[in-house]
Structure 1
């Protein structure tokens, strides 16, 4: 029998989706599941985006340019300028989701065997993108007790070798919800310049920032003109996860020209989704004010309820719509599977994402889970009540 590639065998499973078979069986058994495991917002997609697809008058569903429709790129660049990021349309490439932007980035700045440094825990697919590109992830652990703040720069410098090509951050963070301060972003910028590294910033949650805090983009620092790469997406901003439209942004002309070759190889991003995304940019700012208030309210409701459970600790997020909680269990993945397969409260149970899959360091985060607060507050409270009873039953086994 032909052999599967080592790269394929080493490709990690998604900690967010790997428990799906357990959820499917639970549903077949008649259980209702509160899904706290995946960042699928329940906020309505802007009507303008949906109408742009419904009411289009295309005669031919044709390719777009490989870098995306010019009209969308110009409108997107204007959005960034209005948010303090001074770029032009030629500084970005439209991609099939933020995922493709990350893959184009990896392909453009690394060779097999090169290394990237990432503060952990981090978005699990960074591991997958690295494996697909033959790149080695060098993690620097951010601490739960520090609310997942940026680790000291000395810890980053310990990991830098002649093979290091980039530092990757997510701001605000997935899975932690941590929001980097202006000072932390500046420290990373200084480090990148000192060691001549790229900084890749995944900023897909930029709109979701709470408590009067401000988002500081890596693209706002002029000294990083040739070092900064931003990854973005409409998925979370406009609750358009299924559109699969993102972008890769950099003022480094050589980098964009290189990434364009990868874009040409996959032909083009999807046409209808670009039409919807362009229309979404007309969404009034009131939309984000209301959405932010809703997520902040959900966060506060969730944190208060979790802190009321004996033995549970929570890191309070400043952005995005995730939090990481420590549970009084040794193996949160086993607990998550058990909740789906063996536990219910009046026919209802909860699905969470075990946090170990968000770490690159083995056996780290084993007692942690990520919770996405993307369901209504009354359902969040129901889910936490079920989680509380499940923990009591699980620890008494």
Structure 2
């Protein structure tokens, strides 16, 4: 049977494709510490579960396509705390931030168009764009620069007649980089001068450390007609399984176009929306506690990484990820080796090779992404195991290492 070029061209998720190696290690009785995926162990606020349990109706009906009014109002109130003021018809509820991204791409791009995206980037940007025959044009950033943006001239040189927008996450996944006010303003000016959309993936907005100021694209009046804010409850409230996302934009014509896509998929799950209303009523103190916890976890993992000679990594200032350049030729080889060959006291670590977070061939081959989402005790064990495993791996003769092709 023949399959579409669209689906065969899609890459497998670098976050999940090595899962069989982890399953095999577990079958051999080895405990695997998962630093490969952003699944927090922070407790989901109880209000979500209470709202679902207390739901009382004889029929579980379709919700309206744009989202239930109570959840849209909760989002309006949430944005107000960031001095962003949206009308109720500026917001659409989606099946996770993923659908918000996909629908936005479909609404602003035709097949063959492209979006500028700083790399490394959330790997599903590639998957979503390939689904709708849109190209990712990478803006390359470097570990040595803390993955901050290059000068305006460099970014502008990448724009062509098929460029429809700039897509970026802030704080960044996988880098943990928080863009400065100057960088945000630079992107805004580029968008105005070249008539581009800005797709601002801000799902990690609360996770900013070290007293840094955070600037949302939603705070820039001059680009409010071209900014689409992507959000989600997944990481903000440790509710990944709820699959509740949203998009917000003051360009009502764009919202009307995306609403047609929302109507085509009927609605977002009713019960998850009801639960998420309560998530957005969670006290601000929740974020303060969670923020301090993640900052502490970041320091534990970063400090252990920096004990290994040859590791290049700027301390991230947001989200809960670290991208580290390792003194190895192939990071995927190292990750597989950690799962197949290395253990201490029947424990090992699973990291995520970073090559799949790049669009430029060859980049990220010697980098890994780590998610500091475990409790302090487990994270310290995982960080120590990773350090010791890397030290052992570096002592191996080259011909004894397992290549991903052979594995």
Aligned-residue offset at 1:214: 2.0
TM-score of the pair, normalised by structure 2 = 0.96
Deviates more, 1:116-125 or 1:385-394: 385-394
Matches within 5 A, 1:228-377: 228-377=227-376
Aligned-residue offset at 1:56: 1.4
Note if contact 2:304-2:387 (Cα within 8 Å) is conserved in structure 1. no
Structure 1 unpaired stretches of 5+: none
In the alignment, which residue of structure 1 is the partner of 2:21? 22
In the alignment, which residue of structure 2 is the partner of 1:216? 215
What stretches of structure 1 move > 3 A for 4+ residues in a row? none
Deviates more, 1:55-64 or 1:247-256: 55-64
- 1:171-198 CA distance string (max 9 Å, x none): 0000000001111111110110000000
- 1:214-273 CA distance string (max 9 Å, x none): 221111111112211110000001000000000011101110000001101110011111
Q: Distance in 1 between matches of 2:135 and 2:281?
A: 40
Q: Distance in 2 between matches of 1:297 and 1:390?
A: 23
Structure 2 unpaired stretches of 5+: 397-407
Aligned-residue offset at 1:154: 1.1
Note if contact 2:144-2:312 (Cα within 8 Å) is conserved in structure 1. no
In the alignment, which residue of structure 2 is the partner of 1:12? 11
Q: Distance in 2 between matches of 1:225 and 1:310?
A: 46
Q: Distance in 2 between matches of 1:262 and 1:337?
A: 40
Deviates more, 1:233-242 or 1:335-344: 335-344
Q: Distance in 2 between matches of 1:8 and 1:244?
A: 23
Tell me the SS of whatever aligns to 1:95.
strand
Q: Distance in 2 between matches of 1:62 and 1:362?
A: 47
Q: Distance in 2 between matches of 1:61 and 1:28?
A: 41
Q: Distance in 1 between matches of 2:180 and 2:200?
A: 14
Provide the aligned C-alpha RMSD in A.
0.9
Do structure 1's residue 183 and structure 2's residue 179 form an aligned pair?
no
Note if contact 2:92-2:248 (Cα within 8 Å) is conserved in structure 1. yes
Note if contact 1:226-1:252 (Cα within 8 Å) is conserved in structure 2. yes
Q: Distance in 1 between matches of 2:93 and 2:150?
A: 32
Note if contact 1:354-1:369 (Cα within 8 Å) is conserved in structure 2. yes
Aligned residues: 396
Q: Distance in 1 between matches of 2:213 and 2:233?
A: 20
Aligned-residue offset at 1:57: 1.1
In the alignment, which residue of structure 1 is the partner of 2:386? 387
Note if contact 2:144-2:313 (Cα within 8 Å) is conserved in structure 1. no
Note if contact 1:15-1:357 (Cα within 8 Å) is conserved in structure 2. yes
Aligned-residue offset at 1:328: 1.4
In the alignment, which residue of structure 2 is the partner of 1:127? 126
TM-score of the pair, normalised by structure 1 = 0.98
Aligned-residue offset at 1:58: 2.3
Q: Distance in 2 between matches of 1:313 and 1:143?
A: 10
Note if contact 1:203-1:232 (Cα within 8 Å) is conserved in structure 2. yes
In the alignment, which residue of structure 2 is the partner of 1:198? 197
Q: Distance in 2 between matches of 1:81 and 1:339?
A: 46
Aligned-residue offset at 1:358: 0.5
Q: Distance in 2 between matches of 1:7 and 1:391?
A: 37
Tell me the SS of whatever aligns to 1:33.
strand
Aligned-residue offset at 1:316: 1.0
- 1:350-392 CA distance string (max 9 Å, x none): 0001011110001101111011000012211111211122112
Q: Distance in 2 between matches of 1:256 and 1:81?
A: 20
Q: Distance in 1 between matches of 2:43 and 2:58?
A: 29
- 1:56-103 CA distance string (max 9 Å, x none): 112211110001001110121111012111212210100000000001
Note if contact 1:233-1:245 (Cα within 8 Å) is conserved in structure 2. yes
Deviates more, 1:308-317 or 1:114-123: 308-317
In the alignment, which residue of structure 2 is the partner of 1:80? 79
In the alignment, which residue of structure 1 is the partner of 2:96? 97
Q: Distance in 2 between matches of 1:280 and 1:296?
A: 22
Q: Distance in 2 between matches of 1:24 and 1:62?
A: 39
Q: Distance in 2 between matches of 1:346 and 1:243?
A: 36
- 1:282-341 CA distance string (max 9 Å, x none): 111110000000001111111111111222222211110001111111100111011111
Tell me the SS of whatever aligns to 2:157.
helix
In the alignment, which residue of structure 2 is the partner of 1:147? 146
Q: Distance in 2 between matches of 1:192 and 1:11?
A: 28
Deviates more, 1:217-226 or 1:242-251: 217-226
Q: Distance in 2 between matches of 1:320 and 1:389?
A: 26
